[in-house]
Chain A
Amino acid sequence: MGEKPVKLWRRLIIPVALLSIVAAACGDDDDDAPAAEGTTTAPAADETTTTAAAATTTAATTAPSADAPTTTAAPELVLDEPVSIIGLYEDTGESPAAQPYFAAGAQMAIDEINAAGGIGGQEVSYERIAAGLAADAAVQSTLEAIDAAPTVIIGLPSSGQVIAAAPEIAKAEIPAILFSAAPQAFLDYEGEGGVGNEWVFIYRPRNTAIAAQQVAFVNDEFAPTKVALLCVNNPFGTASCDVMETELEALGIEVTTRETNEFDATDMTTQVLAIQNGDPDLILNVNFPNPITVFANQLIENGVTIPHVDGASAGFAFLAGNLTDEARDLLYGVEDCLPTLQNEEWSAKYEDEFGGPPNYAAAETYDAIYIIKAAIERAGSTDPAAVRDALAETSHEGICTTYETDEGNGLHHSAIVVDYEGGTINIIKELSF
């Protein structure tokens, strides 16, 4: 005797439920305020990531006013043609890695600009397309954006997205400010697989430049004679550690161990023991938040109490709250922008609007919109080539830093070293490159 026949409604209930969820998730929510409740998300991809402010922070720098983004040129301008910007990034809930900050930062700037009369008298039309992290999804979203022929495209926070989509942007000849700092996306990249082109500008600091600065920092701060390297096993980790190793050797500092781990490593016993056997003075770590947490805690468990200087993911490790106090106090991180420390006034304004503190993504996306505004005003039109050429001349004081276009179409040339001693984020040193 077989099973009872399955009723039609029972067969349909799952597809209907799934379709309902998909339909709900696919709704146009560009106008929704993001659910930013003092939270940040896991990194979108393999490049550096930075964090929102912790509950308690310690200001250590001055910053520009919240209401006064400054640029080098802002002539009186009357545009005849519309201005449109398309943002390629996800918002909360659209994928496990999605975060609200890109959309929120852009929306905040757009609202301010339109409230002040737009650009050249034209209200700025802004649309966000949820670009998935997978390369093919990113290309699809980019092509959708290109079809809409915007004045400028911004977005794509992951290396994989940028590497896949940059050639399409070049073909379409639309200026773009992209968020990943993948070395291959810079115009002056000399290795294989470069996708940098004159239409693509990168607004985050170069990972390799940060790596060199990390070495300079530890040399100045700790004067080590022996350093261990821990590198996540992907292009970001490998390229950064290659730079670190070269810089360390140039300074006459011995590299005792160079260990690797997978980005999803959940146990770092092997790496901790290998590093411990090398007896270094400190550790330079290029990694992701979870391996940083596990590694930092396991160092303490094994009696290794030396400083370890990590990258931007250290902030995520700190905010996750899983570090023991001793591990936390030996941890250093590098951030490209900490708006809650570097621009309290702007951060308060953001928090009023979105209900939670901003992170680097909100500040830098906000900056990107104003960089575009300034470029259009300098160009005197929305002609793509003119806007591109104007972007190449950018000098813009943003929320955390001044953006200056370099020969590789990189815009951002600063970072800050922080520590988390006592459970607060403290700025230790500002880095410029």
Chain B
Amino acid sequence: MTAALGGAVNTIAALCEFTGGKRTFISLLFSGLSIGSIAALAALGFLLMQKATGVISFAQGDMITLGAYIAIWWMRDRDAPWLLAYVLTLVMMFGIGIVLERVAYAPLKGRSIHVVVIATLGAALVIRAIIALWQDTTPTSLFSPLKGRDPVKIGGAAIPPVKIAVFVVTLVVVAVMIAVFNRTQFGRQVRAIAADRETARMHGVAATKMSMIAFGLSTALAGLAGILIGPTQNVDLTLGFGAMLAGFSAAILGGFGSLGGVVIGGFMIGLSEQIVGGYCLSEYKSAFPYVLMLIVIAVRPQGLFSRGAAHGRL
């Protein structure tokens, strides 16, 4: 046992380079939290939709992209102030989610889940094509009042305000979501549908309405992710793809079981990439979250925070 532990320590020492001290660690920590926040928001969208409808929508990544482009459109083409543009974007994304539910999910009710998932992929391609025709494929930028501001010094590390904002906004959204799902009628009805759709319908739960709202909320969450991630990089048609993959992995890590679980899964994704990848085999750091996901699937297929068949929890 001791020899095995010693071997593991030696292997880590050989593969990892713990340089840079506290400053490096704090920088990597905040990068991981920022990336994890976006993954958590995407994962929340997956979870919400999956609980209310049983569907995993692979249009979520392109919805993130669409959210960023709509915000750009409001500000650049409609001259809307940034805060109003953000709010209008979220409202529009909620509406788009409802439309998506009507055209890509409702007509396929009763079909195999595989058909519905493929339909969401088709919707993703359509959304991407629409963005390309509407806004062109040229990389562009999304304004943020925090972009370009002096970084905040924490423990010697320079942390961009945008990253801090992403983390804080995500925490607020998660807190609101937890409150909504635990303390409102809507939350209880979604949880009832998640537990047993047919029984919930027999008890008067308006499953169709819940489905539409879930699509709307999930899409608005994607839009929020787009607004948060957009200012940190060039906005192009691929903006949301990586976030969607990270969100899906986070949901798997969390086990599609609980809201808190997928949020923690999201932060595990970000931190494993930035902190583990920052010190060890950094050229492969983008693979670490997915290696972690595969390990979890192998040893605990239901996810880290899921209690097996406890489908009713959120």
Contact = CB atoms under 8 A, between A and B. Distances in A.
Contacts of B236: 42, 96, 290, 320
B238 interface: yes
B45 interface: no
Interface stretch (B82-90, B121-129, B172-180, B214-222): B121-129
Given A6-B108, A13-B103, A269-B28, A301 B151 contact: yes
Contact of A324 (B27, B128, B137, B147): B147
Contacts of A301: 151, 158, 160
Contacts of A260: 283
B237 interface: yes
B182 interface: no
Interface stretch (B251-259, B274-282, B304-312): B274-282
A207 B63 CA distance: 36
Interface stretch (A192-200, A270-278, A369-377, A425-433): A270-278
A93 interface: yes
Most chain A CB within 10 A, of B119, B139, B201, B202, is at B139
B5 to A, nearest CB: 28
Interface string A1-44: 11101100011011001100100010000000001010111100
A290 B132 contact: no
Contact of A322 (B106, B110, B129, B233): B233
Given A262-B286, A301-B160, A302-B158, A270 B277 contact: yes
B242 interface: yes
Given A14-B104, A233-B283, A270-B277, A96 B132 contact: yes
Contact of A270 (B198, B232, B237, B278): B278
A325 B147 CA distance: 11
A96 B233 contact: no
A1 B24 CA distance: 59
Most chain B CB within 10 A, of A25, A260, A322, A324, is at A322
Contact of B110 (A2, A266, A319): A2
Nearest to A9: B107
Interface string A323-364: 011000000000000000000000000000000000000000
Contact of A320 (B106, B140, B242, B274): B140
B139 A316 contact: yes
Most chain A CB within 10 A, of B129, B201, B233, is at B233
B107 A10 contact: yes
A5 B107 CA distance: 10
B137 A99 contact: yes
Contacts of A316: 139, 234
A93 B129 contact: yes
B138 interface: yes
Interface in A243-289: 259-260, 262, 264-267, 269-271, 273-274, 277, 289
Contact of B274 (A11, A269, A294, A303): A269
Nearest to B278: A270
Given A42-B236, A264-B238, A325-B148, A14 B119 contact: yes
A42 B20 contact: no
B27 A1 contact: no
Interface in B211-248: 229, 231-238, 241-242
Given A6-B110, A267-B274, A322-B233, A21 B129 contact: yes
Nearest to B29: A269
Contacts of A6: 107-111
Q: Chain B binding site: helix, strand, loop or mixed by DSSP?
A: helix
A10 B27 CA distance: 52
A66 interface: no
B27 A93 contact: no
Most chain B CB within 10 A, of A267, A293, A298, is at A267
Contacts of B141: 320-322
A83 to B, nearest CB: 33
B277 A35 contact: no
Nearest to A269: B31
B233 A266 contact: yes
A162 interface: no
Given A266-B35, A269-B28, A269-B278, A25 B234 contact: no
A264 B236 CA distance: 11
B287 to A, nearest CB: 9
B252 to A, nearest CB: 20
Nearest to A292: B234
A225 interface: no
A270 B136 contact: no
B110 A277 contact: no
Given A266-B35, A320-B234, A42 B104 contact: no
A122 interface: no
B298 interface: no
A1 B197 CA distance: 11
Contact of B126 (A21, A293, A321): A21
A131 interface: no
Contacts of B136: 35, 37, 39, 41, 92
Contacts of B278: 269-270, 273
A333 B29 CA distance: 32
Given A14-B119, A266-B229, A303-B158, 11 more contacts: A1-B198, A14-B122, A18-B126, A21-B126, A93-B132, A96-B128, A266-B35, A267-B274, A294-B232, A301-B158, A321-B141
Q: What 6 A-B pairs come out closest when comparing CB atoms? A: A322-B141, A10-B107, A320-B139, A269-B31, A39-B138, A320-B234
Interface of B: 19-20, 24, 27-28, 31, 34-35, 103-104, 106-111, 119, 122, 126, 128-129, 132-133, 136-141, 147-148, 151, 158, 160, 198, 201-202, 229, 231-238, 241-242, 274, 277-278, 282-283, 285-286
11 contacts: A6-B110, A10-B106, A37-B136, A39-B136, A42-B137, A267-B34, A267-B232, A269-B274, A298-B160, A319-B139, A321-B141
